[in-house]
Amino acid sequence: MKDFLWGMLTMASAVASLLFLRYGRVTRERLFLYFSAAFLAMTFNWLGLAIIEPDNEHRHVAYTLRLLAFVLILIGIIDKNVRAARAADQTR
């Protein structure tokens, strides 16, 4: 049952990654590209959890991809806010 759910989460993350990639290309907004990369990392996280056996000692490696995904989201948000602040300073 867990494998089925992890497969669904893998597929959902991959679809979200592709949608954010499309939005990023259409709007030329880097935040969407960061979200796309984050969901791609989550895709590999769920895929890794589905492939690695539960008793494997190296299972924690799959969770580093989740950490990478959340760090990418934070970087994207910070980048968006810094660029917005710079744009506001230039208009003054």
pTM for this prediction = 0.85
Which sequence spans correspond to the domains of the chain?
Answer: 2-91
Confidence of residue 89 (pLDDT cuts 50, 70, 90): confident
Residues 6+ apart with CB under 8 A from 63: 45
pLDDT tens column, 21-38: 999 999 999 999 999 999
Task: Classify each residue of 43-77 as buried b or exposed e, where b means 16 or more C-beta atoms within 10 Å of its C-beta.
Answer: bbbbbbbbeeeeeeeeeeebeebbebbeebbeebe
